[in-house]
Amino acid sequence: MKDLSKIWIIGSNYAILSLPIITYSVQPHWRNKIRANEVEHRFTASFKSTVEIFQSFECEYKTMEEAKKGCEHHLQKLMDYLFLKLENVVEFRLAE
């Protein structure tokens, strides 16, 4: 998978990665409002997909960067799964 850093939509406290089959969202955890100590603040990552996904997904991270990396790791696992399932159905050829 290529570098996805250029297609993340980054806001002041959120990040969104939107692709045709899946969308990831990273935002501050709702419990941050009740945590006075900012060191304890976390980010929540979530996804919505048009594909049935049987991959686990850790959704709470210490930083936005860690959450984005978690989303990208999940996307890589999804792509590996899809290509494995399509292996016997689709013939993949490199461009000549």
Helix, strand, coil: what percent of the chain each, to 5?
Answer: 30, 25, 45
If one counts every other C-beta atom within 10 angstroms of the C-beta of residue 95, the result is: 3
Q: Of the given ranges (39-48, 64-73, 74-83), which has the lowest mean pLDDT?
A: 39-48
Give the residue, 58 or 92, on which the prediction is more confident: 58
pLDDT tens digits for 2-54? 889 899 999 988 999 999 989 999 998 877 776 666 666 788 899 988 877 77
The residue ranges of DSSP E strands in 2-88, in sequence order, are 9-10, 15-18, 22-28, 43-49, 60-61
Return phi, psi of residue 27, to 5°.
Answer: -150, 165
Quote the pTM value: 0.80
